[in-house]
Chain A
Amino acid sequence: MRFIARYAKELEKSFEIVTVYENEIQKEKISKENPSIKTLAKKHPCAIWFERKMHDDFGIVIEDAFDARPLVHQERFPKNIHPLRKNFQEKKINEAPYVQYKYEAIKGDGVFQVAVGPIHAGIIEPGHFQFSQAGEEMLHLEVRHFYKNRGIEKMLEGKTLKEAKPIIERISGNESIAYQICWRDIALQASSQELSLSLQKRDAFLLELERIIHHLTDLGFIPNDAGFGTALAYASKLCEDARRKMQEFTGHRFGFGAINFENSYINIIETKEWLKNLHKSISYFKEWIIDIPSLWDRFDTTGKLHIKKAIKYDSVGVVARASGLSIDRRLTPFYLKHDFVMSNEISGDVSARFKLRLAEVFNSLTMMKNFLEEDSSKMKLQAPKDGEYMSFCESSIGELFMAIDIKDSKIERFFVRDPSFVNWQALHLMMYDDIIADFPLINKSCDLSYAGSDL
């Protein structure tokens, strides 16, 4: 049973722990005095971040945890503050004395540590990587994030769904449409309404456009990290073209505010022509890049994630599909009707993830053509009813999960699990056969979001 998420919420007299599996949701109530739970990390290793986060956010103790270090709260975060508790209302906290974080480190003769980040050498988000090295070879990597923690969950509490929308779409800029679609589905559930087919198509069209933009960026940056800069120049040109199209369709280069229950006119003939040309350009790119042996020398067998490990760590998205798993939230009658094809690779290395992205771009182009429809319908959203709602969406990184509780028409608890949150925890498994110089390449081939997982 695939583990998806685990999170806590504060009720009047108790805490409720929600554990979400693929086909099951478990709820457990625990007392507010001395709250404690048992860990799931022995069976699902990636549960550990969820549980460490729960401890930071609510002060819930994980009884048998093998790792009880703080996750979100870093060296200077004041002790005994649990910001997601309802009685915590401060808008400012003061720096506490520095307490060293104990990194996972392998010790031994000639083994040394390499610390990378939080600020990296390129234009990239902040996060820390701690390597244990034997010469060039990586023995172990610990990923440590949450530098970008903005307190989004707390920020959204007490807001209406409508007020929360502009914030939700800016949680992770590269996945904005996916976050908006998750929000849309929750808003629809809460008002017991259904979306018209044409609006579904328009939203799906934009989601695929976002996926193409994200994949094209990676198709340029992955070869660039292997020293093949021309590919970046070529792919970033295509990426810029696609982003300008996004601006044309939604009025925003990242599609902020695009999912609004309102269809606007799209010139179908022009768009089809553009899709055709993009298809041609990417076909050329594929043919050209497949023919560069020195590049594939770097890609093949680098950063391998074995399918057994991918299952064990409950990986999702591009990372899981490149290792041979068939996990995709687009596996629905609606998408299948519009020619969705599950892309898979089996080798689980950088080249698998690269090829998978290429295949997905082609499939997205086909689907986008099928989604096109001339329509300018509108829909009015009714007032939301109180309740607990959940939704899923396949973002360009992987499966996105969102849960919102509404009480008195306001958000009582907001939780979102970015696909990156689980995939980051599988990153260290890809390192064991490689040298440290391969790390940027491997990291880029997964292209996970920092902002989405840090919240």
Chain B
Amino acid sequence: MIKFLNRRLKLGILTQNIEFDAEIKKIEKEIKDKVTKKFAGSLAIRMVDSGSCNACETECNALSNPYYNLERLGIYFVASPRHADVMLISGIMTFNMTPHVKEAYEQIPAPKWIITLGDCPAMESVFEKTYAIQAPISDHLKVTHHIQGCPPSPQTIIQGLLDFLRKI
């Protein structure tokens, strides 16, 4: 335990030590203010994969690593749609997932918003239309904001969340 604490002290706080921090510093305050004002201090996101390659999910998981630590800005990923304000959808909306995505959306209490993540849900990725693909998601549900990228980097996702907060 002592060994671990020692190392912990030596390493310091990573969130404060990255090159991209200067950029995030600027938007950090704005995100925090907006989350406080519009979502009473906590923005709860339910992430749903509608048929991605798992890269977008990996990048969302990376948002919780010590470099990005999204939770310090009051933004949380929650386990149930019933706890969520926002549904973050990745993936190309497969035929088999469509009814489940819609059902999850229905479970979110109003007011609610949809953000699409990555090129797939907007049908802008390299995948072409087949019988099993039902993207773009905007054909099925009302999308408030779209974050581009294949996959969007954690930095892009944070910026995208800020753009969403500015929009509503």
A residues adjacent to B (C-beta < 8 A): 74, 76-77, 81, 83, 88, 90-93, 95, 118-119, 121-126, 146-151, 154-155, 166-167, 170-174, 176, 217, 230, 233, 236-237, 239-240, 243, 253-254, 256, 284, 288, 449-451
Q: Nearest-CB distance from B49 to chain A (Å)?
A: 5
Q: Nearest-CB distance from B119 to chain A (Å)?
A: 10
The reply to whether B100 and A119 form a contact with Cβ atoms under 8 Å apart is yes
The reply to whether A237 and B130 form a contact with Cβ atoms under 8 Å apart is no
A207–B130 alpha-carbon span in the complex (Å): 30
Which residues 83-136 in B have Cβ within 8 Å of A in the complex?
A: 91-92, 94-97, 99-100, 104, 125-133
Q: Nearest-CB distance from A76 to chain B (Å)?
A: 7
Given known A149-B94, A155-B128, A288-B3, contact A119–B51 (CB-CB < 8 A): no
Contacts of B97 in A (CB 8 A): 118, 126, 147-148
Given known A119-B104, A147-B100, A148-B51, contact A240–B62 (CB-CB < 8 A): yes
Residue B66 lies at the interface, judged by CB distance under 8 Å to chain A? yes
- How many A-B pairs have beta carbons closer than 8 Å: the answer is 141
Tell me which of B48, B53, B91, B96 has the highest count of chain A C-beta atoms within 10 A of its own C-beta.
B53
The reply to whether B55 and A254 form a contact with Cβ atoms under 8 Å apart is yes
The reply to whether A123 and B151 form a contact with Cβ atoms under 8 Å apart is no
Contacts of B127 in A (CB 8 A): 150, 155, 167, 170
The reply to whether A148 and B91 form a contact with Cβ atoms under 8 Å apart is yes
Which of A126, A230, A237, A254 contacts B100, CB < 8 Å?
A126
The reply to whether A284 and B95 form a contact with Cβ atoms under 8 Å apart is no
Given known A148-B96, A253-B153, A449-B54, contact A166–B126 (CB-CB < 8 A): yes
Known: A121-B80, A167-B126, A167-B127. 9 other contacts (CB 8 A): A81-B131, A90-B131, A123-B57, A146-B96, A147-B100, A151-B133, A170-B150, A254-B55, A284-B7
A412–B65 alpha-carbon span in the complex (Å): 43
The reply to whether A93 and B67 form a contact with Cβ atoms under 8 Å apart is no
Which residues 124-157 in B have Cβ within 8 Å of A in the complex?
A: 125-133, 150-151, 153
A17–B49 alpha-carbon span in the complex (Å): 33
A354–B100 alpha-carbon span in the complex (Å): 33
B residues adjacent to A (C-beta < 8 A): 3-4, 7, 14, 47-62, 64-67, 77, 79-80, 91-92, 94-97, 99-100, 104, 125-133, 150-151, 153
The reply to whether A237 and B131 form a contact with Cβ atoms under 8 Å apart is no
The reply to whether B53 and A170 form a contact with Cβ atoms under 8 Å apart is yes
Q: Nearest-CB distance from A413 to chain B (Å)?
A: 15
Q: Nearest-CB distance from A279 to chain B (Å)?
A: 16
The reply to whether B7 and A91 form a contact with Cβ atoms under 8 Å apart is no
A72–B147 alpha-carbon span in the complex (Å): 30
A126–B49 alpha-carbon span in the complex (Å): 7
The reply to whether B60 and A150 form a contact with Cβ atoms under 8 Å apart is no
8 closest residue pairs by CB, A with B:
A173-B55, A151-B130, A151-B132, A121-B79, A236-B65, A173-B53, A166-B126, A173-B54
Residue in chain B with minimal CB distance to A287: B3
The reply to whether A147 and B64 form a contact with Cβ atoms under 8 Å apart is no
A80–B150 alpha-carbon span in the complex (Å): 35
Tell me which of B47, B91, B126, B129 has the highest count of chain A C-beta atoms within 10 A of its own C-beta.
B126
Contacts of B62 in A (CB 8 A): 236, 239-240, 243
Contacts of B7 in A (CB 8 A): 284
DSSP majority for the B interface? loop
Contacts of B65 in A (CB 8 A): 233, 236-237, 239-240
The reply to whether A154 and B53 form a contact with Cβ atoms under 8 Å apart is no
The reply to whether B95 and A237 form a contact with Cβ atoms under 8 Å apart is no
A88–B126 alpha-carbon span in the complex (Å): 22
The reply to whether B131 and A91 form a contact with Cβ atoms under 8 Å apart is yes
Contacts of A253 in B (CB 8 A): 59, 151, 153
Contacts of B126 in A (CB 8 A): 166-167, 170
Q: Nearest-CB distance from B4 to chain A (Å)?
A: 6
The reply to whether A288 and B4 form a contact with Cβ atoms under 8 Å apart is yes
The reply to whether B95 and A77 form a contact with Cβ atoms under 8 Å apart is yes
The reply to whether A171 and B53 form a contact with Cβ atoms under 8 Å apart is yes
Tell me which of B57, B65, B92, B100 has the highest count of chain A C-beta atoms within 10 A of its own C-beta.
B65
Contacts of A150 in B (CB 8 A): 51, 92, 94, 127, 130, 132-133
- 20 A-B residue pairings within 8 Å (CB atoms): A92-B129, A123-B57, A124-B49, A125-B57, A148-B91, A150-B92, A150-B127, A151-B131, A155-B127, A170-B150, A174-B55, A236-B61, A237-B14, A237-B67, A240-B62, A243-B62, A254-B58, A284-B7, A288-B3, A451-B52
Q: Nearest-CB distance from B15 to chain A (Å)?
A: 11
Which of B49, B52, B92, B99 contacts A76, CB < 8 Å?
B99
Contacts of B128 in A (CB 8 A): 155, 167
Tell me which of A77, A124, A149, A167 has the highest count of chain B C-beta atoms within 10 A of its own C-beta.
A149
Contacts of A451 in B (CB 8 A): 51-54
A253–B60 alpha-carbon span in the complex (Å): 13
Residue in chain A with minimal CB distance to B104: A119
A176–B58 alpha-carbon span in the complex (Å): 13
Q: Nearest-CB distance from B141 to chain A (Å)?
A: 15
Which of B48, B59, B130 contacts A155, CB < 8 Å?
B130
Q: Nearest-CB distance from A92 to chain B (Å)?
A: 7
A174–B62 alpha-carbon span in the complex (Å): 13
Contacts of A230 in B (CB 8 A): 4
Q: Nearest-CB distance from B70 to chain A (Å)?
A: 11
Q: Nearest-CB distance from B93 to chain A (Å)?
A: 10
The reply to whether A123 and B77 form a contact with Cβ atoms under 8 Å apart is yes
Residue in chain A with minimal CB distance to B103: A119
Residue in chain A with minimal CB distance to B68: A240
Contacts of B14 in A (CB 8 A): 237
A176–B151 alpha-carbon span in the complex (Å): 13
